[in-house]
Structure 1
């Protein structure tokens, strides 16, 4: 007779609502589905954690700890797993109709609300032929998985008795292992401040859990680009002045003491980018004038002497510098303007002499924010910040190698005190986060700080300062007013999150945008004639780098999203039907998809290994897609159906170009030589008839609109939002009535956070592994 299933055996199947999940095969069978869907191992592990606590909130931190132990994943992996689960369990909704029965608890975690039941699969009955050879007492037959001819089982020899000394040693090792595991368990599960404490059998609330950091500036303004003194006791930062336009350098202790101004900039000047010298006595900073002039200044940190100019940086777009260890010198990144230089170089502050560093770089590369490691052996920098990565090279020069694999928006970095790695900021979905990267192992760990960027680490004791900015962006329609020549603002949808990249369809009826308003990042859609149609598109995790592109008939759109493995893919979305279709684009790393006319041609902007991007024209009617033409060095592209032209920007320089839809070189023409700036390559939109509109920022107006090219001659700049910043990663124009669709900050501000840098903890099994290594192997 078939063996009975033991009660202690793990269940084989999980019933979630009306869906049945086979744990071993990771297959989900939904009612009405033609075939089962397959989950990734991590998605099935997340489901098991949620199912073990049905109806209870499971935090993202718990999911990361249980599903991704001993790794350093980003928060993206949880979002991707939840998205895949909701898609597979879309018919297992709870009574409230939530897809997959999984509820998002904003800023906390997730809760499985669908009914859950663990089941044991009926064991397969397999006819077994009689076996003449007796089995040893220790031999056990594994349960059959599928019907197969009965195997002939040979007798298993009885195991040899181990030598007594090694039995004692094994007991000792096992005891040590148990002790280490208990210590690890206690460390992970000990009560944290703010938990419920028991006293006399009753529960009492101790208080909120303590954050690992504290804000040392919290005035509600904008405090940016912090730099810590070597001992971590002082911080300097750039702060937007309340009394006049522009910024000044403020300095204070890291214990929330009142700040003081380092030096007073002149009228119409702004001081920014402070950098503390390695001896703690001086601060270098940049001073920018209203006329676009730029000077690098040095001042005593104690304010005892006036500042002095050490270099000119006239009309530079993206300035960066840091101090050189052991010498009175500054190291500069690539510079444009009057003192242009394509590579990294050093300035001796005593002699005024420049020295170019010899290392591997191309003419079009822009190397930003170079910094020496504390031990003086290495130089790290960001190459091509628009599509950037962190690179490192020997301090004496030589070949540079890439540290970060994924090209992303790097939001500052700094070295660890022991030079073993870096901490860097990068944009993830709707916010910036800090990550710790080990140079030797290449392990990456999320530091768990929300809305954090621009890290600064004190080399003496590992204190960490960073910028924490938590803006709330809402969507607005800006309509030209005939009464006063400006724009009237209309708030579109109420939101408690961050709405961005509003793209209006060609017919002016449909709006698509990205948002975290539901607690997780998603692509949203609404028919503007029916506000109640607003909803997220399930099954798509959009990228933040480029906005979506509508088809000419306003029915579908192209969007870049990430699949279950975190890879960028091109998707065709029918938002009114919530249908998402992954396209078989040959480009290995798509950044943007573009409709080109009503036919079967599409354009795809694809990232190149060296940090560039290429615009490729495809015929999608062929299988595989046929490449028709390509255009190199493109950062963003837009198709103007009224002229049949493709407008685009470049990574290597500022300006706007246009070219025919066939990408023929003889059709290339320059539209505007100066704007958009190469760092604001997404802050422009087409208005039809070959006109392009550009958003920039000045000291007097946070969001300034201007026409580009020939259209700029008859129209001046317009201040669209004097005190509120707009998002820089996409806006759109209704070509029917000229209305602008923008994301503008309703609440904004930035403060400086401060904490002790967490120590890199060794894995719990490290002690045991070392002990086993020291003990050696038993004799054979």
Structure 2
């Protein structure tokens, strides 16, 4: 192997193996390639860091620190940069994916294996005298087309070239000295300014006494019993409207973004619930939805100071109704709606005339587009596609082609524009919902550091962010169906327990929990508290419940690896053993066993973004797709009746099919429930029974049967249930469910964070190293 020269110089042309890299233009010239490949600035940055440590392992943390300073990028950003480098270095086809140059070191980082050499400056700048005498294959540099060949006939040319070269060097030296002097002066001035005490510094006094805990980046303005939901900031950020869902009702209230007492915006009729407030662009009116006890609803508009409300449209009481104002304030834009007043896709409603206009844009037949919102300039329109397992998309304000902004299939919990080039969104992760910021230009993702947050709202003219702060505690309960009041709590803890799935033998239980501090899958034998233990080594997903094999020895669990990549895991929980299955789906979301262990039903997002339900035969180690159904969101296999039951993304209801997923066998079992948002709160019981949990009137957890007409029964009057899964005992005499032990929500307020892609300027980025704060 050739020796590796890692002593980097300041020239502009770099040889890595047989490839030439021209730094000013970010071009890679590979031998045999028809044309050069241009790299992104970040990819060039990664390449330079690898070249500086050529022959040695460079960790991911080192690459993030040097190429993405002052940001919190995801692993996908680095992986994309390395993938681009490998393609560029192997553009000539000599080696697959450039693997002879860049080696992946599992769970650590990367290593550049090829020789590194900088092109000497005299070779780069010397005039091409006597170019006609050179051989056609004279050098790799010439072959790459790095410099034109010019024939000089004048004897005075070399001295003139040398004069200008010396003059240029002196000019550059003078400019460099001036820049250095300016930077040192600025650093000295900033060093001399008084230090501003940080939140962490405020918790101590001269390093000797404790004063208090550091301040959070937000404050709660409603802090009280009950539920404050659906916050909406006024355009100037002075007021926030929200739904107060205390005492079984839902009333719209308005208060200042300080901690003053709230005032009722409009009084709802008896039995009606007002939700989803949205401020007009001028801040004078608020649109909202009113849901009535008979299942109907209407969208109304009222003045920001209250008064009589006028009707905008009817809306059939849809659970996932969504709307916001158009930029000119003359109408509303609605997401997908179902029912006789609905239509698929995004539409606008002109308030003065009542005229609907459907936007012409790209969407799949089964896509449900939710929460459309115009950007601050009005030039872009964003929305959430399939919020149960979807992401945020953005397109031109008048429609056309939409592009996806967030990656991965996630349970989305609201979103808002931060500015024209950045958004903030909430998503379910493990046992909580968190807020994330994404830059539309760079794709950089940043966690805003707020626990248990969702439903963000941003002031259009201000710099304020409002959100719902909810931190419930859920416990596991066994609820006897004959006597629900005798419910029994299982494995008490201060964590959040969810998704209790009883085994077919009725003796084992698996569930997800953060009770140990880390989110994990747990197993126990009922009646044996000492058997409780976590299955270590992988991280389960909270969006889909585990599924037991008929022999009660294994479960299928959706989860993620150390790099955050989703997958399906087959787990033997009693032994604490697991393996990742090679499911041939772009992003697998859920898997359940079929009639045999080798037949598996999988819901996943394909490479084109379409979410499908597939039947695979994995016999012999090969995964063969036998059948496919588009647009499914949840699946269960009923061994008693040998049928498949599933829900859909775009509409409520429950469908069944035979075990082969043949189209002719499709049947609609229920046209209304499960609803789209509660698509996981149903379970299979004994002899083909289908149980469903809902919240209705004075009952927080009501159990009903979807397969036959039976009176509903109230399992819990006050404590809400988790919506991500429960199970029915094999003998059908009890349900295992996660109930809220403590619950409630508040409205939080915090300053709008800076854009994730905004770099620090000058010496400001070095001030933390020097020991001085920059603000």
Q: TM-score range by the shorter chain?
A: 0.7 to 0.9
- Tell me if the contact between 1:640 and 1:688 (Cα under 8 Å) persists in the aligned partners: no
Match of 2:444 in 1: 443
- The match for 1:581 is 579
Between the aligned partners of 1:208 and 1:534, the Cα distance in structure 2 is 35
2:595 alignment partner in structure 1: 597
Are 1:206 and 2:211 counterparts? yes
The 3-state SS of whatever aligns with 1:622 is helix
Shift of 1:665: 2.8
Q: State the match for 1:356 in structure 2.
A: 358
Could you report, residue by residue, the CA deviation over 1:512-562 in whole angstroms, capped at 9, with x for unpaired residues?
A: 111111112111111113211111111010112211111111111111111
TM-score normalised by L of structure 1: 0.74
Q: CA deviation at 1:423?
A: 1.0
| Counterparts of 2:422 and 2:275, CA distance in 1 | 27
Partner of 2:386: 384
Deviation of residue 628 (structure 1)? 2.6
**CA distance in 2: counterparts of 1:566 and 1:512, whole angstroms:** 22
1:221 counterpart SS class: coil
Query: Shift in Å at residue 217 of structure 1?
Result: 0.3
Asked if 2 retains the 8 angstrom alpha-carbon contact of 1:293 and 1:313, the reply is yes
- Out of 401, 404, 407, the position equivalent to 1:399 is 401
How far is 1:251 from its partner?
0.7
Q: What is aligned with 1:493?
A: 491
Task: State whether residues 500 and 726 of structure 2, in contact with CA within 8 Å, keep that contact through their aligned partners in structure 1.
Answer: yes
Partners of 2:548 and 2:599 in 1: CA distance: 14
Give me the whole-angstrom Cα distance separating, in 2, the residues matched to 1:179 and 1:519: 48
> How far did residue 379 of structure 1 move?
0.8
Matching of residue 729 in structure 1 with residue 724 in structure 2: yes
- Taking structure 1 as reference, are residues 172 and 573 closer, same or farther at Cα in structure 2, changes over 3 Å only? farther
**Counterparts in 2 of 1:491 and 1:185: CA distance versus 1, 3 Å:** farther
Normalising to structure 2: TM-score of the pair? 0.75
Q: 1:315, 1:336 within 8 Å by CA — same for their partners in 2?
A: no
Q: 1-side partners of 2:360 and 2:732: how far apart?
A: 54
CA 1:582–1:489: 2 relative to 1, 3 Å? same
Aligned to 2:665: 667
Distance 1:392 1:764, change over 3 A: closer
The question of 1:268 aligning with 2:271 is answered yes
Q: Is the 8 A contact 2:338 2:651 kept in 1?
A: no
1:229 aligned onto 2:238: no
Cα distance in structure 2, aligned partners of 1:570 and 1:472: 27
1:26-65 to structure 2, matched below 5 A, reads 41-42=59-60
1:157-179 Cα deviation digits (max 9, x unpaired): xxx99967655655555566678
Matching residue of 2:286: 283
8 Å contact kept, 2:366–2:650 = yes
Change (3 A) 1:197 1:298: closer
Aligned ranges 1:624-663 → 2 under 5 Å? 624-663=622-661
SS in 1 for 2:361: coil
Report the counterpart of residue 476 of structure 1 in structure 2.
477
CA gap 1:488/1:180 in 2 versus in 1, 3 angstroms: farther
| Counterpart contact for 2:458–2:465, Cα < 8 Å | yes
Provide the secondary structure at the position in 2 that maps to 1:532.
Answer: strand
The 1:612–1:718 alpha-carbon spacing in structure 2 relative to 1, beyond 3 Å, is: farther
Q: Following the alignment from structure 1 to structure 2, what is the Cα–Cα distance between the partners of residues 183 and 540?
A: 50
Q: Give the whole-Å Cα distance in 2 for the aligned partners of 1:625 and 1:666.
A: 25
| Contact 1:411 1:426 survives alignment (8 Å) | yes
Matched, 1:249 2:271: no
How far off is 1:504 after superposition? 0.7
Aligned equivalent of 2:261: 258
**Cα offset, 1:194, TM superposition:** 4.4
Note the alpha carbon deviations across 1:53-80, whole angstroms, 9 max, x for none: xxxxxxxxxxx98998433247999xxx
* 1:240 equivalenced with 2:245 (yes/no): yes
Distance in 1, matches of 2:634 and 2:188, equals 54
CA distance, structure 1, for counterparts of residue 615 and residue 737 of structure 2: 29
Structure 1 counterpart of 2:739? 744
Distance 1:454 1:198 in 2: 34
SS in 2 for 1:512: strand
Change (3 A) 1:197 1:344: closer
Distance in 2 of aligned mates of 1:185 and 1:685: 64
Q: Distance in 1 between matches of 2:586 and 2:283?
A: 47
SS in 2 for 1:496: coil
Which residue of the partner structure matches residue 43 of structure 2?
A: none
User: Who is 2:468 aligned against?
Assistant: 467
CA distances 1:127-180 after superposition (whole Å, capped 9, x unpaired): xxxxxxxxxxxxxxxxxxxxxxxxxxxxxxxxx999676556555555666788
Residues 333 and 368 in structure 1, CA contact (< 8 A), matched pair in contact too = yes
Task: After TM superposition, list the pairs within 5 Å mapping 1:62-73 onto structure 2.
Answer: 69-73=69-73
Query: How many angstroms does 1:371 deviate by?
Result: 0.9
Q: Decide whether aligned partners of structure 1 residues 765 and 453 sit closer, same or farther in structure 2, where only a CA change above 3 A counts.
A: closer
Q: Distance in 1 between matches of 2:615 and 2:697?
A: 40
Counterpart-to-counterpart distance in 1, 2:339 and 2:598: 44
Question: Do 1:387 and 1:611's aligned partners in 2 also have CA atoms closer than 8 Å?
Answer: no
Equivalent residues in 2 for 1:391-430, closer than 5 Å = 391-416=393-418, 418-430=419-431
Alpha-carbon distance change, 541 to 762 in structure 1, aligned in 2, over 3 angstroms: closer
With over 3 angstroms needed to count, the CA separation of the structure-2 counterparts of 1:65 and 1:181, relative to structure 1, is farther
In structure 1, runs of 5+ residues without a counterpart are 1-24, 26-38, 47-63, 78-159, 771-780
Corresponding residue for residue 57 of structure 1: none
Q: CA deviation at 1:328?
A: 2.2
Cα distance in structure 1, aligned partners of 2:369 and 2:420: 20
2:9 corresponds in structure 1 to: none
Determine the C-alpha separation between the residues in 2 that align with 1:688 and 1:174.
Answer: 78
Q: C-alpha deviations, 1:451-478, integer Å up to 9, x for none?
A: 1111111111121111000000000001
Alpha-carbon distance in structure 2 between the residues aligned to 1:411 and 1:186: 45
- 1:289, CA displacement in angstroms? 0.6
The answer (yes or no) to whether the contact 1:194–1:205 under 8 Å persists in 2 is: no
